[in-house]
Structure 1
Amino acid sequence: MVRIKDIALKAKVSSATVSRILNEDESLSVAGETRQRVIHIAEELGYQTVAKRRKSRRQKQRTQPLIGVLSCLSPDQERQDPYFSSIRKGIEKECFEQEIFITNSIHLGSFQEHILRELDGVIVIGRVHDEAVTHISGRLEHAVFINHSPDPQAYDSIGIDFEAASRQAIDHLFNLGYKRLGYIGGQEKEHTLKDGQSIRRTIEDKRLTVFLKSAAPQPEHVLVGEYSMREGYRLMKKAIAQGHLPDAFFIASDSMAIGALKALQEAGLQVPRDTAIVSFNGIEESEFASTPLTTVKVYTEEMGRTGVKLLLDRLNGRTLPHRVTLPTTLIVRQSCGCPAKEVT
């Protein structure tokens, strides 16, 4: 049986150094050449670390894969965002039906590399920067990305066509005869890792991009903050204070639209009489808002379920990456000013 001492003698370093290198102790300061020499000698002699032997035994003993879910949001942020919490619900439901257990629920802000090494695959929820993608994929062979497609040539991903969905909402308002449109939305964020910390960067939001191209709005009618109900309320109050409300608003999330409705109600304004609204996401609460919302329905729960299916397919041997784009549906209710119906 090969011992650490045997490797240390051949590599001309201490046994402690060999142990820390083979167990991937990142706090160890050692030359890259020395690290590679130790690893090469260990492989040459057929040595396996305790962690690798344990993992090998676990793999022989179990029949179900070990799956992790990595969220770009903190637990509180995820709970407060119906869009992302619905994706997780879909993952959990599909895992339950497949009789698979989610071994680890990981948040990027408390990311620990050793957790990934124990998994067979991971489902990533949210937009992550290329640096973070490389960080994750370099430690784990199988990863599926939901609501983001970092590289369709390499990774499985599930998402929607934000541009087409936004155009559908805006065209609906124009087709109803509204001419002056306003926009309320948040800032799209991309997440990355730097020195072990989660960093958020503001990136392009396709909903806003499409709106600016399609509606040619007055600058004062474009209001951007953060994606939350409270911000929707604040931004609509700002729009009211400016006077001369647009004929209608495209609001980039249902949560923001619900906040905006409250601001309008407090000001004694009615929807759709004083201004109409079409929002985005299709969360359950949109149907029960003070004025039921016309909204673009995103099938978030199905996104989660599809993520599980793609990952299992990968674990079963598929090598060609798949990029799945789910459809959206325009659900027409009272807030836009026309009879309720669904438009696909």
Structure 2
Amino acid sequence: MATIKDIANMVGVSIATVSRVLNYDNSLSVSDETKKRIFEAAEELDYQKKPKRKPIMYKVGIVNWYTEKEELDDLYYMAIRLGVEKRLEYHNMKFTNFSIEHLRSLQNEGFQGIIAIGKFSENQAEELKSVSSNLVFVDSSPNDDQFDSVIVDFEKATRNILQYFLDQGHTKIGYLGGREIYKDHTSKIDDPRRTSFERFLSDMGLYQEAYVYEGKFSVEDGYHLMKQAVKDHEDEIPTAFFAGNDSIAVGALRALQDAGVRVPDQVSIVGVNDISISKYMSPPLSTVKVYTELMGETAVDLLLEQFSGRQVSKKVSIATQLKIRGSSK
């Protein structure tokens, strides 16, 4: 595992700066560019380097539904993007990153293939198809019959977390999640973590709507959501919380620490994604490991299959793994 010192040496900043950035210390005055370099260094140092292969003469567009600013709040998509980029570099393929807001600018770029990272509506998928018929979606599947996709089974991951809580004796379980909408504003996005949470606990007779809090998938919202939960329930606060992603969990940890609530003695927290900073939290964050680099690599491999002539669409589901650390018991 890379150390904070390794990251500091790679970026050229102090160990203290790296530590405060990884812990989302709002009192630190540092540019978004420096934060980006630190987060990317943490991801890249976790990435297993591989030798490059012979050149394959294709030009690929990477379309990101998150902006660089949004990536800093939710490192999940940064990790997927880096996985895509490293795999393309491994094959010596040229690529360019684009924001979803600039779809029209892709038309004249001459891309042989497109990898779209994030959540895209069917309308956006059709627009991307007009740029290149060789198209792979990562983290969403707008149309299983038409497009390749790489997804995660968040329903199973949610069930695994909740079963772990039940096995530890927790019966009052809360949820901290995010609400999302497609960037073309065509509709809201259903979150399988939220629906699976309600379904699973309802079947057990343990679901409580009052224990559910939703905002954005960010550290800031995680902090405010947990702060509200502490205020609402005081001494009757749920003894365990499932956070929809690690960013929310990081903010929630800070809110509990500010409120004097001991983690995990009084409240346990488990997040999702296992972003690179999770292990640097205090306490280290229990989380579901999502193999984001593999998601990115698989997307490139699917694109290469399309270049080789495969016509039938393929949907690949990547497994997850629950990692128990210091934030839960």
TM-score (ref. length: structure 2): 0.78
Assess if the C-alpha contact under 8 Å between 1:191 and 1:201 holds in 2.
no
Corresponding residue number in structure 2 for 1:46: none
How many Å separate the matches in 2 of 1:297 and 1:188?
22
Give the aligned residue type for 1:276. Answer: S
Give the one of 196, 214, 226 matched to 1:236: 226
1:117–1:240 CA distance, 2 compared to 1 (3 A): same
For the pair 1:163 / 2:150, whether they are aligned, the reply is: no
Q: 3-state DSSP class of the match of 1:336?
A: coil
**In the alignment, which residue of structure 2 is the partner of 1:64?**
57
Maintained 8 Å contact 2:56/2:92:
no
User: 1:176 maps to which residue?
Assistant: 168
State yes or no: 1:208 paired with 2:200.
Answer: no
1:246 maps to 2:238: yes
- 1:200 deviates by 6.9
Q: Tell me, what secondary structure is at the counterpart of 1:183?
A: strand
1:25 paired residue number = none
- Partners of 1:260 and 1:66 in 2: how far apart? 42
Q: Tell me what 2:213 maps to.
A: 223
Residue of structure 2 in register with 1:269 after alignment: 261
Task: Tell me if the contact between 1:229 and 1:258 (Cα under 8 Å) persists in the aligned partners.
Answer: yes
1:82 aligned to 70, 75, 78, which one?
75
CA contact (8 A) 2:73 2:219 kept: no
Cα separation, 2, equivalents of 1:312 and 1:79? 30
Contact 2:73 2:247 in 1 (8 A): no
Between 1:162-171 and 1:283-292, the stretch displaced more is 283-292
Show CA shifts across 1:47-99 (max 9, x none). Answer: xxxxxxxxxxxxxxx96011100111223212432100000100111111111
Aligned-pair RMSD on alpha carbons? 1.6
Kindly provide the CA deviation profile for residues 248-296 of structure 1, in whole angstroms up to 9, marking residues without a partner as x. Answer: 1111111111111111111111111111111111112111211111111
Q: Compute the displacement of 1:308 (Å).
A: 0.9
Q: Which residue does the alignment assign to 1:191?
A: 183
State percent identity of aligned pairs.
34
Paired amino acid for 1:96: E
Residue type matched to 1:217 in 2?
A: Y
Stretch deviating more after TM superposition (172-181 or 77-86): 77-86
Instruction: Give the conservation status (yes or no) of the 8 Å contact 1:71–1:125.
Output: yes
Q: Which deviations, in whole Å up to 9, do the C-alpha atoms of 1:134-162 show, x marking residues without a partner?
A: 12213321100000112222211101111
Counterpart of 2:262, as a letter, is Q
CA distance in 2, matches of 1:154, 1:63: 25
**Does structure 2 conserve the Cα–Cα contact (< 8 Å) formed by 1:113 and 1:139?**
no
Deviation larger for 73-82 or 327-336? 73-82
Evaluate the alpha carbon distance shift between residue 105 and residue 334 of structure 1 in structure 2; reply closer, same or farther with a 3 A threshold: same
Q: 1:116 to 1:328 in 2, by over 3 A?
A: farther
Indicate if the aligned counterparts of 2:121 and 2:186 stay in contact, CA closer than 8 A.
no
Alignment-derived partner of residue 149 in structure 1: 141
Contact 2:56 2:91 in 1 (8 A): no
Give me the whole-angstrom Cα distance separating, in 1, the residues matched to 2:129 and 2:109. 11
Alpha carbons of 1:136 and 1:92: their partners in 2 closer, same or farther (altered >3 Å)? same
Contact 2:289/2:320 (<8 A) preserved: yes
Q: Which has the higher contact order (CA 8 A, sep 6+)?
A: 2
Amino acid at match of 1:139: V
Q: Is the 8 A contact 1:116 1:140 kept in 2?
A: no
Structure 1 CA distance, aligned partners of 2:148 and 2:75? 24
Q: CA deviation at 1:190?
A: 2.6
Secondary structure class of the residue paired with 2:226: helix
Following superposition, the deviation at residue 322 of structure 1 comes to 1.3
State how 1:238-317 maps to structure 2 within 5 Å: 238-242=228-232, 243=234, 244-317=236-309
What is the one-letter code of the residue matched to 1:226? K
Question: What's the offset of the Cα at 1:318?
Answer: 1.5
Change (3 A) 1:115 1:105: farther
CA distance in structure 1 between the partners assigned to 2:311 and 2:166 by the alignment: 45
Residue type at the aligned position of 1:230: E
How far off is 1:117 after superposition?
5.8
Secondary structure of 1:112's counterpart equals helix
Structure 1: state its 5+ residue gaps: 1-61, 193-198, 338-344
* Equivalent-residue separation in structure 2 for 1:116 and 1:168 (angstroms): 46
Contact 2:103 2:128 in 1 (8 A): no
- Whether the 8 Å contact between 2:242 and 2:271 is mirrored in structure 1 is yes
Greater radius of gyration (CA): 1
The TM-score with structure 1 as length reference comes to 0.75
